[in-house]
């Protein structure tokens, strides 16, 4: 029998959406998984879980801390469980009923699967994914593909035991998923799937988000990428030049109003569904 875990984190900012998330787990066509729920700052979570106890296998673990600390504890919890397959999800999203089945099928051929996402604000009648026009169904990708941007999140991915390992996550890191997958994909290729989509909710607690570029968002992207690359540069020295470029770019965007306005106008006119943290790759001095 397959040993499958679905891992997510619940925290106060996601609680309003948690019931809908749980309903989407209940509707999965593949039901042989265990929900590993990391609880961060929600002491009365049992009241939310009780309606689902009869239909889902649920295990909880409590830890309160930063994004990096909570995910670090979660990853170590998963490793200790020795699961064959791990499905990652965000507790404020909704999963297509076939999502786990699609992931498991993909993991037979590749060590990592990433599902497309559909933002709630752009759901259309065709159900097309946000990155469908940029990545083919079944397209292979490696660490180099996500070197300067990311689409492999801890909300739309799955991984096989042979590619999965715990590692020390630097304190204060925001893009934890990007850091982890850049390491995990060093030894193998992932595959992107159009099917089994995530209905991706946009709200104030989103870490990354998919939205219109504003001055605040652009500086946030730069800060996140600089912190991310600084976390990787000890093991991957080729990030040194890119760190310097992003520091220079941040300084100019912060101090040159004309340059900032032109950069933001250019990005918003590109009509491109950016990957997470990708925007700065299109700004040139």
pLDDT at 119: 87
> Per-residue DSSP letters for 31-82?
--EEEEEEESS-TTHHHHHGGGTTTSEEEEEE--S-HHHHHHHHHHHHHHHT
Distance between CA 176 and CA 169 in Å, rounded?
A: 7
pLDDT in tens, 88-132: 999 999 999 999 999 999 999 999 999 999 987 655 545 689 999
Q: Could you tell me which residues are beta bridge partners of residue 37?
A: 8, 60
Distance between CA 144 and CA 222 in Å, rounded?
A: 19
pLDDT in tens, 70-90: 999 999 999 999 999 999 999
Q: Going by C-beta distance under 8 Å and a sequence separation of 6 or more, which residues neighbour residue 72?
A: 166, 168, 169
Would you say 147 and 160 are in contact if contact means Cβ atoms under 8 Å apart?
no
Phi, psi torsion values for 61, nearest 5 degrees: -145, 135
pLDDT in tens, 159-201: 999 999 999 999 889 999 999 999 999 989 999 999 999 999 8
Taken in order 262, 249, 217, 195, is the CA torsion positive or negative?
Answer: positive
Q: What is the pTM of this model?
A: 0.93
């Amino acid at each position: 029998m397959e040993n499958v875990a679905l891992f997510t984190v619940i925290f106060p900012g996601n609680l309003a959406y948690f019931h809908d998330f749980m309903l989407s787990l209940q509707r999965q066509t593949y039901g042989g998984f265990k929900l590993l729920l990391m609880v961060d700052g929600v002491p009365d979570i049992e009241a939310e879980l009780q309606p689902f106890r009869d239909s889902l296998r649920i295990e909880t673990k409590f830890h309160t801390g930063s994004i990096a600390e909570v995910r670090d504890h979660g990853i170590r919890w998963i490793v200790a469980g020795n699961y064959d397959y791990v499905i990652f999800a965000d507790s404020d999203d909704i999963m297509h009923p076939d999502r786990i089945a699609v992931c498991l099928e993909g993991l037979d051929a590749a060590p990592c699967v990433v599902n497309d996402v559909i933002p709630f604000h752009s759901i259309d009648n065709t159900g097309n994914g946000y990155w469908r026009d940029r990545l083919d169904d079944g397209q292979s990708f490696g660490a180099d593909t996500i070197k300067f941007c990311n689409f492999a999140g801890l909300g739309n991915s799955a991984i096989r035991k042979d590619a999965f390992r715990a590692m020390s996550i630097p304190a204060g890191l925001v893009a934890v998923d990007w850091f982890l997958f850049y390491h995990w994909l060093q030894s193998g290729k992932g595959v992107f799937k159009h099917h089994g989509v995530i209905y991706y909710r946009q709200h104030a607690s989103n870490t990354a988000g998919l939205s219109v570029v504003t001055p605040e968002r652009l500086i946030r992207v730069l800060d996140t990428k600089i912190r991310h690359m600084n976390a990787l540069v000890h093991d991957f020295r080729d990030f040194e030049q890119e760190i310097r470029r992003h520091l220079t770019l941040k300084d100019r965007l912060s101090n040159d109003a004309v340059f900032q306005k032109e950069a933001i106008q250019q990005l918003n006119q590109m009509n491109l569904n950016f990957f997470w943290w990708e925007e700065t790759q299109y700004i040139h001095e």
